[in-house]
């Protein structure tokens, strides 16, 4: 090679046809790999591209239908797949989507993507994406709390509901997210604890960041030695157990409602509510009489039927008792008509059960007391509620009930309302007949009916409730005060609070 002309040779190479063609080929390769250009196969086959886009459009429509059913809590199919909600929704979409309509009517039966198996697979893929996003946000936080409960489903399998509570720095808010269900073979503390850990690890949750665990107060969950919380605390010492405060409130109401007068009254209300709601004839008479009573209709606030008492959320029973109290006169009128005009013997018995002063005064008193717990119940179930706020609201409610208990005017107003309600149905204030030694109900002597019902019904119920509220909602309050170390609450970090926090965590 003539090195004396190397500069000229190199310059000629840069302009040569071979060099330029290779540079163009390299540029095209980079463009194809980076997605800026389509490869030769796709360029040569426009039909292939249209098929791909069409299939994607169809699959998007199928996935959107599944997501819609999931968001609306609608079952995709019933006993037969052909008449299921999923199929009906797709046919409705097909009216405005020609590609989907052609796929449903003339698609290859081997690749319809509409079978129950494919539906379940798509549901699983969607669920996996959602849970992965939740776990990713949880793992980015400094710590999290694990919340769980177990229950038996319709197929008699034990199902665990798993939730994560953490601070999402990207959204700048506290999140409480449902992670999913898991099956468990046993309900012992050991089996549940192992199942919880396995499910969290399976979802790729960084369990070493767990700083809290919340369950109900059952022995297998809260036991200090063999319960779930004890076993998880042994593995993750920083995971402090907190008994669900909404559940604690529920237990307090349940135990207070075991007082004999309150228990009997609620039993009668539940029986009559079910009797009306599950009988077309009785419900029709109730609605007709309600329409004829303007006062009751206004107090019912657009409700047209009685509400049954919730078996699990006892704080919600206040609304059912309020509805029954507002429509009391209508209920009595309806039962009398059913008994006298239609020979309904059960209606006669129901009417006898509620047309006595014992039932009326207990209904008025218990409904009033439980109505004061509704706001607290909603607050304790709020995702944004923290332990300090819950304890503060609980103290406020307890102080309010204590003040009402000691205020004679409150009881006098409740008693006067009971007398007025009884007067509407020609019932006179009275006390239960006393014969011999009473062992099944309180029966302290009193000079007047008002004093009797206050001493034997109202005070025992509210005292029992106050005791349980204090013991269940304010227990372990010192641990909650550690939140005073957070910047928004640091103003409340006094010397006394600091000492209390130290005593709890030393």
Task: With beta carbons less than 8 A apart as the criterion, state whether 462 and 370 touch.
Answer: no
Whether residue 284 is found in the same domain as residue 159: no
What mean pLDDT comes out for the span 131-145? 92
Q: Which pLDDT belongs to residue 435? A: 59
- Asked whether residue 171 carries a pLDDT value surpassing 90, the answer given is no
- Asked whether residue 18 carries a pLDDT value surpassing 90, the answer given is no
Whether residue 74 is found in the same domain as residue 150: no
Whether residue 414 is found in the same domain as residue 484: no
* Boundary (domain end) residue, out of 224, 243, 262: 243
Residue 392 binned pLDDT confidence (cut-offs 50, 70, 90): confident
Whether residue 483 is found in the same domain as residue 432: no
Q: Which pLDDT belongs to residue 476? A: 61
Whether residue 157 is found in the same domain as residue 49: no
- Asked whether residue 12 carries a pLDDT value surpassing 90, the answer given is no
Within a domain: 33: no
Whether residue 56 is found in the same domain as residue 134: no
Q: Which pLDDT belongs to residue 157? A: 77
Within a domain: 484: yes
Whether residue 483 is found in the same domain as residue 471: no
- Asked whether residue 440 carries a pLDDT value surpassing 90, the answer given is no
- Asked whether residue 459 carries a pLDDT value surpassing 70, the answer given is yes
Q: Show the tokens assigned to 269.
A: 């209300």
Whether residue 149 is found in the same domain as residue 216: yes
Q: Which of 76-85, 196-205, 262-271 has the lowest mean pLDDT?
A: 76-85
Within a domain: 36: no
Whether residue 279 is found in the same domain as residue 264: yes
Within a domain: 51: yes
Whether residue 344 is found in the same domain as residue 402: yes
Concatenated DSSP letters for 165-178?
EEEETTTTEEEEEE
Strand ranges across the sheet with 144-152 = 173-184, 158-168, 144-152, 210-215, 240-243
Whether residue 263 is found in the same domain as residue 299: yes
What mean pLDDT comes out for the span 121-127? 92
List phi, psi (to 5°) of 252. Answer: -60, -45
* Percent of the chain residues topping a pLDDT of 70: 92
Q: Which of 37-51, 110-124, 371-385 has the lowest mean pLDDT?
A: 37-51
Q: Which pLDDT belongs to residue 480? A: 72
Task: With beta carbons less than 8 A apart as the criterion, state whether 379 and 385 touch.
Answer: yes
User: How many structural domains is the chain composed of?
Assistant: 5
Within a domain: 495: yes
Within a domain: 120: no
For 269-327, what is each residue's pLDDT tens digit? 999 999 998 888 899 988 988 888 888 888 887 788 888 888 777 777 888 899 999 99
What mean pLDDT comes out for the span 367-372? 93
CATH number reported for the structural domain that contains residue 161 in this entry: 3.30.420
Domain ranges, residue 12: 3-28
Average pLDDT value for the chain: 85
Most confident of 137-151, 297-311, 359-373: 359-373
- Asked whether residue 436 carries a pLDDT value surpassing 60, the answer given is no
More confident residue, 48 or 465: 465
Q: By three-state DSSP, how is residue 440 classified?
A: coil
* Boundary (domain end) residue, out of 225, 243, 261: 243
Within a domain: 87: yes
* Boundary (domain end) residue, out of 71, 92, 114: 114
Whether residue 291 is found in the same domain as residue 332: yes
Concatenated DSSP letters for 483-496?
GGGSGGGGGG--HH
Q: Which pLDDT belongs to residue 483? A: 78
Within a domain: 308: yes
What mean pLDDT comes out for the span 357-373? 94
For 187-239, what is each residue's pLDDT tens digit? 888 888 888 999 999 999 999 999 889 888 888 888 888 888 899 999 998 88
């Amino acid at each position: 090679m003539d090195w004396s002309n190397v500069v000229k040779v190199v310059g000629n190479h840069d302009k040569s046809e071979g060099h330029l063609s290779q540079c163009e080929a390299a540029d095209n390769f980079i463009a194809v790999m980076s997605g800026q250009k389509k490869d030769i196969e796709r360029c040569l086959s426009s039909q292939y591209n249209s098929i791909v886009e069409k299939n994607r459009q169809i699959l998007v429509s199928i996935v959107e239908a599944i997501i819609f059913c999931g968001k609306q809590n609608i079952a995709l199919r019933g006993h037969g797949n052909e008449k299921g909600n999923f199929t009906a929704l797709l046919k409705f979409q097909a009216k405005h989507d020609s590609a989907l309509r052609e796929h449903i009517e003339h698609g290859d039966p081997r690749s319809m993507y509409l079978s129950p198996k494919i539906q379940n697979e798509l549901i699983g893929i969607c669920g996996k994406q959602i849970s992965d996003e939740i776990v990713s946000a949880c793992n980015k936080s400094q710590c999290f709390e694990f919340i769980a409960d177990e229950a038996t489903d319709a197929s008699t399998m034990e199902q665990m509901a798993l939730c994560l509570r953490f601070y999402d720095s990207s959204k700048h808010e506290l999140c409480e997210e449902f992670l999913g269900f898991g099956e468990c073979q046993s309900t012992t503390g050991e089996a549940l604890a192992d199942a919880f850990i396995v499910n969290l690890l399976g979802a790729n949750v960084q369990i070493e960041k767990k700083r809290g665990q919340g369950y109900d107060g059952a022995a297998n969950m809260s036991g200090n030695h063999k319960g779930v919380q004890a076993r998880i605390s042994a593995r993750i010492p920083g995971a402090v157990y907190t008994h669900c405060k909404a559940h604690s409130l529920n237990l307090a109401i349940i135990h207070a409602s075991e007082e004999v007068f309150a228990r009997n009254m609620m039993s009668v209300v539940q029986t009559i509510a079910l009797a009306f709601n599950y009988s077309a004839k009785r419900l029709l008479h109730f609605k007709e009489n309600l329409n004829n009573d303007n006062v009751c209709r206004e107090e019912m606030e657009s409700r047209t039927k009685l509400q049954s008492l919730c078996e699990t959320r006892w704080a919600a029973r206040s609304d059912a008792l309020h509805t029954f109290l507002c429509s009391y006169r209508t209920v009595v009128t309806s039962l009398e008509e059913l008994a006298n005009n239609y020979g309904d013997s059960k209606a006669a018995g129901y009417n006898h059960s509620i047309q006595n002063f014992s039932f009326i005064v207990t209904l008025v008193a218990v409904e009033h007391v439980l109505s004061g717990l509704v706001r607290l119940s909603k607050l304790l179930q709020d995702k944004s509620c923290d332990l300090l706020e819950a304890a503060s609201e609980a103290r406020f409610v307890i102080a309010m009930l204590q003040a009402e208990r000691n205020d004679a005017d409150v009881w006098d107003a409740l008693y006067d309302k009971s007398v007025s309600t009884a007067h509407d149905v020609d019932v006179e204030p009275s006390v239960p007949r006393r014969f011999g030694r009473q062992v099944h109900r309180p029966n302290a002597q009193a000079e007047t009916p008002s004093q009797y019902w206050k001493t034997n019904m109202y005070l025992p119920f509210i005292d029992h409730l106050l005791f349980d509220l204090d013991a269940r909602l304010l227990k372990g309050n010192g641990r909650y005060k550690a939140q005073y170390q957070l910047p928004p609450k640091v103003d409340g970090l006094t010397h006394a609070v600091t000492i209390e926090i130290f005593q709890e965590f030393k």
